[in-house]
Amino acid sequence: MNASINRRRLLVGGAASAVATAGLLARPAAAIAAEAVAAADDSPGWIDAHVHVWTPDTRRYPVGPNFTVADMVPPSFTADQLLSHCRPENVGRIVLIQMNFYELDHRYLLAVMRQHPGVFSAVGLVDHQSPAVAAAMNHLAAQGVRGFRLHSLGDAKDWPHSETMATLWKKAAADGLAVCPLINPEDLPHIDVLCKRFPDTTVVVDHFARIGVSGRIDAERLDALCRLARFPNVHVKTSAFYALGAKASPYTDLTAMIQRVLDAFGPQRLMWGSDCPYQVQDPHTYHDSIALIRDSMDSLSATEKQWILRDTAEKVFFS
Ligand SMILES: [Zn+2]
């Protein structure tokens, strides 16, 4: 809960009390209106579980040595730009994912978190091959980072044999932090091995393990993703709709895949993410991403939507 919400609550409460003492005749309609405002104000809003931000201020926040400013496409996607997309859709909290071109320099992500208390959680990057991986995790966790991204660059097959990777998974479980693999479908068996070895680690698989990036939703690959559901701590992000299947709004070709992972994992292990700024590059829009789950999927109950659009991410990244 952040200070501004508390302040708004106080103001709404004050207005309601004033109405109550103003006279009985005036009370009913005004009180109903005040309650409606209070209800809307108390709504915690949805959570977007996957977003990147960056700033054109590259003097203060330079890209890492393996990248150039030209890699920043679009050139700017600051927290204010992000929030201008989220607010109209009642998305009140957001999980920031460390952008790859900042490499291990988390200064911009951490500054955004500090500037908006209560709004952002974060997933950071650590060098999983470093003997100092545990110290790097401690450093970021102390500043509010709640998960660590594993980005497979074709090396996921080596992960189950890495001692430092084992340290990362064990420490994540012990400290209540999440491991968030950005993998391709062919990497799923390696994640399966790690989940078997470290069943207490909370895992959040990004973007359906990128099933559908080729344009085709492969049934065998979807089976491999759904087999991870036998590990109770594995979650899946239903995210990056702009990049999967037909890659075209309203993305309804993805509903069968969403329903399949829902049947396997249940709503309490699915979380929606936009993958901004990519989701807001023309012709894609933020509205069309959240609308697929919120408005288009009639097969989902209101409770299932609440888990996918808020409660699962709240449990993993904000509690
Ligand atoms: Zn992303």
| CATH number of the domain bearing residue 308 | 3.20.20.140
Lowest mean pLDDT among 7-16, 124-133, 277-286, 300-309: 7-16
Burial class (CB in 10 A: 0-12, 13-18, 19+), 109: buried
Same domain, 24 and 92: no
Handedness of CA 183, 186, 191, 192 (dihedral sign): positive
CA distance 229 to 160: 19
CA of 212 from ligand 1 middle (Å) equals 15
CA of 125 from ligand 1 middle (Å) equals 13
Q: Report the pLDDT value the prediction gives residue 35, as an integer from 0 to 100.
A: 41
Lowest mean pLDDT among 6-10, 180-184, 232-236, 285-289: 6-10
CA of 52 from ligand 1 middle (Å) equals 6
- The full DSSP string for 149-195 is EEE-SS-GGGGGG-HHHHHHHHHHHHHT-EEEEE--GGGHHHHHHHH
CA distance 295 to 287: 10
pTM of the model: 0.87
Same domain, 10 and 156: no
CA distance 128 to 211: 24
Same domain, 101 and 23: no
Q: Report the pLDDT value the prediction gives residue 80, as an integer from 0 to 100.
A: 98
Mean pLDDT over 136-151 rounds to 97
What are 272-301's pLDDT values in tens digits? 999 999 999 999 999 999 999 999 999 999
For the chain, the average pLDDT equals 89
Same domain, 150 and 82: yes
Percent above pLDDT 70 for the chain: 87
CA of 111 from ligand 1 middle (Å) equals 19
CA of 220 from ligand 1 middle (Å) equals 24
H or E element that contains 27: helix 27-42
CA of 74 from ligand 1 middle (Å) equals 14
Residue 264: pLDDT over 70 = yes
CA of 7 from ligand 1 middle (Å) equals 33
CA distance 218 to 215: 9
CA distance 11 to 251: 41
Q: Report the pLDDT value the prediction gives residue 44, as an integer from 0 to 100.
A: 78
Q: Report the pLDDT value the prediction gives residue 42, as an integer from 0 to 100.
A: 54
Q: Report the pLDDT value the prediction gives residue 109, as an integer from 0 to 100.
A: 98
Q: Report the pLDDT value the prediction gives residue 282, as an integer from 0 to 100.
A: 97
Same domain, 37 and 53: no
Residue 121: pLDDT over 90 = yes
By C-alpha distance, which of 235, 96, 138, 105 is closest to 178? 235
Lowest mean pLDDT among 41-50, 79-88, 144-153, 289-298: 41-50
Burial class (CB in 10 A: 0-12, 13-18, 19+), 291: middle
Work out the pLDDT band at 16, boundaries 50, 70, 90.
very low
The partner residues of 147 in beta bridges, in order of sequence, read 123, 178
Same domain, 111 and 213: yes
Same domain, 5 and 82: no
Residue 167: pLDDT over 70 = yes
Residue 109 neighbours by CB under 8 Å, 6+ apart: 53, 96, 98, 99, 102, 122, 124
Same domain, 122 and 178: yes
CA of 275 from ligand 1 middle (Å) equals 5
Work out the pLDDT band at 154, boundaries 50, 70, 90.
confident
Percent above pLDDT 90 for the chain: 85
What are 52-93's pLDDT values in tens digits? 999 999 999 999 999 999 999 999 999 999 999 999 999 999
Residue 19: pLDDT over 50 = no
In terms of DSSP bridges, do strands 120-124 and 91-97 run parallel, antiparallel, or are they unpaired? Answer: parallel
Domain range enclosing 38: 1-43
Same domain, 28 and 128: no
CA distance 62 to 199: 38
| AA letter at 49 | A
Mean pLDDT over 1-10 rounds to 36
CA of 171 from ligand 1 middle (Å) equals 24
CA of 148 from ligand 1 middle (Å) equals 13
| AA letter at 74 | P
Same domain, 310 and 183: yes
CA of 201 from ligand 1 middle (Å) equals 22
CA of 50 from ligand 1 middle (Å) equals 6
Same domain, 36 and 55: no
Give how many domains the chain has, as a whole number: 2
Same domain, 246 and 116: yes
CA of 57 from ligand 1 middle (Å) equals 21
Instruction: Count CB neighbours of 9 within 10 A.
Output: 14
Residue 190 neighbours by CB under 8 Å, 6+ apart: 156, 157, 159, 160, 183
CA distance 8 to 42: 9
Q: Report the pLDDT value the prediction gives residue 248, as an integer from 0 to 100.
A: 98
